Amino acid sequence: MIELSQKEIEQVTGAGLLSSIAGNNILKAVDLTNGFFNAVAPIGQALNAIPFVAPVHELGDTLIGACLKVSAGIGQALGGTYELTQPYHVTSEWGRG
């Protein structure tokens, strides 16, 4: 008798299907969010010229970037395989990530 691995059991029962769908949806939401923030980045960059706006803007982008990375990690942990097409906004705008 052969013992099945957890992955094989999930494939046979379909248990991993719903979690992978949820994971892919989370990853797609992360991608769309990064795309939106990258699209409106020129507005934020222009507002950085106002005194004290740049540090607040950078803090906001850093927090959003951290949340998006955690969300992407959850999506991958659920079995999502969607490949992100957009770079993380904090990386695009501030050169770090």
Return the residue matching tokens 């770090």. 96
> Sign of the CA dihedral 69, 71, 74, 80?
negative
Q: Encode the chain (97 residues) as per-residue pLDDT tens digits.
A: 788 787 777 666 666 677 889 999 999 999 999 999 999 999 999 999 999 999 999 999 999 999 999 999 999 999 899 999 999 999 888 887 6
* Phi (first) and psi of residue 57, to 5 degrees: -60, -45
The helix-helix angle for 6-13 and 15-39 (nearest 10°) equals 90
Closest C-alpha to 67, from 24, 21, 29: 29
Per-domain residue ranges of the chain: 51-97
